[in-house]
């Protein structure tokens, strides 16, 4: 009796999660949103809040109805500044930041010819979201509760085990989420960065980035493009020496293969944790609180290199 009951629960759990998957042969139309299993994130096509009248459509992941913490900032100018440039749609990942779609009749689906997830703009060439580089029959796309968009293939004849082919956490844009790693992989010689938007209303890859320091890889660094980089200082008990990121607990991990930083927050602190580099080179938390800044408007915070 006990065993049968458990099986029933497992099946229920399984079919529920299917609603948060896109299978080969299914499609997401512009206007449809794919919701993460937790209900916390959405995946779909959007127009940034900073350009509400623009016809440019982007594919990405954003927070689904976060509770806004920016009002807890006491400096009203800073709140206004933050709100004007940070999306009120809390976008955390963009698939096609350099390749916007110019109309509202696209679909997103797995391309049968190569197994990749692509945007199919009506009558134009498809724009690839993933590059998995293999012809696969049974591919599924899911948005995990962490906000990570993942592409899986089940091993043949074995539905219980699946293989991760691609994940959006490996292609960060301007935002670091909990469970995401900002890292250096020594085996493949690759370093990951958060890369700012170009301007407050242009999502293209901009001038500023955040990553590990070139020389001091146990620290994070905002690269200010010749204006003097902003470094975090060392990490002690989850806090950086020079950066005050209230409520966020950071970890540093290193071995022969890789080094990375990640962080966690408790739900009590915020419903939409994010560490984001703005177009002006300012690193901000979910409240818009400035952590480090390259901005000329913030000269006091800029140290020379």
Q: How far apart are CA 234 and CA 238, in angstroms?
A: 10
* Residue pair 35/143 in contact by the 8 Å Cβ criterion: yes
Q: Which is nearer to ligand NAG, 251 or 266 (CB)?
A: 251
Query: Is 262 a residue that touches ligand NAG (CB under 6 A)?
Result: yes
CB of 157 to ligand NAG, least distance (A): 6
Query: Which residues, 6+ apart, have CB-to-CB distance to 304 below 8 Å?
Result: 228
Query: Is 84 a residue that touches ligand NAG (CB under 6 A)?
Result: no
Query: Is 214 a residue that touches ligand NAG (CB under 6 A)?
Result: yes
Helices within the chain (DSSP H only): 2-18, 76-85
Q: Which is nearer to ligand NAG, 16 or 253 (CB)?
A: 253
How far, in Å, are 101, 120, 259 from residue 30 at the CA level?
11, 10, 38
CB of 174 to ligand NAG, least distance (A): 19
Beta carbons within 10 angstroms of residue 131's beta carbon = 11
Q: How far apart are CA 158 and CA 294, in angstroms?
A: 51
Which residue among 98, 105, 251, 266 contacts ligand NAG (CB under 6 A)?
A: 251
Long-range CB contact pairs, 216-224, < 8 A, 24+: 217/184, 217/254, 217/259, 218/252, 218/254, 218/259, 220/182, 220/261, 222/277, 222/281, 222/283, 222/292, 222/293, 222/294, 224/281, 224/294, 224/302
User: What mask of x and - would describe binding to ligand NAG in positions 283 to 302, judged by CB under 6 A?
Assistant: ------x-------------
Query: Is 199 a residue that touches ligand NAG (CB under 6 A)?
Result: no
Q: Which is nearer to ligand NAG, 28 or 182 (CB)?
A: 182
Give the Cα-Cα-Cα angle 117, 121, 122 (nearest 5 degrees).
Answer: 135
Residue 5, helix vs strand vs coil = helix
Query: Is 179 a residue that touches ligand NAG (CB under 6 A)?
Result: yes
Q: How far apart are CA 129 and CA 133, in angstroms?
A: 12
Query: Is 7 a residue that touches ligand NAG (CB under 6 A)?
Result: no
Number of residues that bind ligand NAG (CB under 6 A): 16
CB of 44 to ligand NAG, least distance (A): 25
Q: Which is nearer to ligand NAG, 1 or 267 (CB)?
A: 267
Which residue among 6, 38, 98, 244 contacts ligand NAG (CB under 6 A)?
A: 244
Query: Is 215 a residue that touches ligand NAG (CB under 6 A)?
Result: yes
CB of 64 to ligand NAG, least distance (A): 20
Query: Is 185 a residue that touches ligand NAG (CB under 6 A)?
Result: no
> How many Cα atoms sit within 13 Å of 8 on the Cβ side?
5
User: What mask of x and - would describe binding to ligand NAG in positions 119 to 148, judged by CB under 6 A?
Assistant: ------------------x-----------
Which residue among 35, 178, 254, 258 contacts ligand NAG (CB under 6 A)?
A: 178
Which residue among 15, 113, 158, 304 contacts ligand NAG (CB under 6 A)?
A: 158
Q: How far apart are CA 149 and CA 216, in angstroms?
A: 31
Piece of 28-36, 55-63, 92-100, 157-165 that binds ligand NAG (CB under 6 A): 157-165
Piece of 39-47, 89-97, 154-162, 202-210 that binds ligand NAG (CB under 6 A): 154-162
Give one DSSP letter per residue of 76-113, joined into a string.
HHHHHHHHHHS-SS-EEEES-TTS-B-SS--EEEE-TT
Q: Which is nearer to ligand NAG, 115 or 206 (CB)?
A: 115
């Amino acid at each position: 009796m006990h065993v049968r009951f458990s099986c029933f629960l497992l099946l229920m759990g399984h079919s529920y999660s299917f609603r948060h998957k896109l299978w080969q042969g299914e499609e997401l139309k512009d206007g449809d949103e794919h919701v993460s299993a937790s209900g916390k994130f959405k995946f779909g096509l959007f127009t940034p809040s900073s350009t509400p009248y623009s016809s440019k459509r982007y594919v990405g992941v954003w927070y689904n109805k976060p509770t806004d913490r920016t009002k807890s900032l006491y400096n009203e100018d800073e709140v206004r500044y933050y709100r004007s440039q940070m999306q009120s749609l809390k976008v955390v990942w963009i698939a096609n930041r350099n390749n916007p779609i110019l109309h509202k009749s696209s679909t997103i689906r797995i391309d049968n010819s190569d197994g990749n997830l692509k945007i199919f703009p009506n009558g134009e060439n498809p724009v690839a979201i993933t590059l998995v580089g293999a012809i696969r029959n049974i591919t599924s796309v899911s948005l995990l509760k962490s906000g990570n968009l993942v592409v899986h293939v089940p091993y043949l004849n074995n539905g219980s085990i699946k293989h991760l082919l691609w994940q959006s956490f490996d292609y960060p844009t301007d935002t670091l989420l909990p469970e995401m790693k900002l890292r250096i992989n020594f085996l493949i010689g690759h370093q990951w960065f958060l890369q700012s938007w170009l301007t407050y209303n242009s999502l293209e890859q901009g001038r500023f980035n955040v990553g590990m320091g070139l020389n001091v890889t146990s620290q994070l660094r905002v690269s200010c493009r010749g204006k003097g980089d902003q470094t975090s200082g060392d990490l002690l008990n989850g806090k950086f020496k020079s950066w005050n990121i209230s409520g966020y607990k950071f970890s540093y991990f290193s071995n022969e293969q890789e080094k990375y930083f990640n962080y966690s927050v408790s739900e009590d602190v915020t419903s939409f944790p994010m560490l984001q580099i703005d177009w002006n080179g300012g690193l901000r938390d979910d409240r818009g609180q400035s952590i480090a800044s390259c901005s000329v408007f913030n000269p006091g915070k800029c140290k020379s290199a």
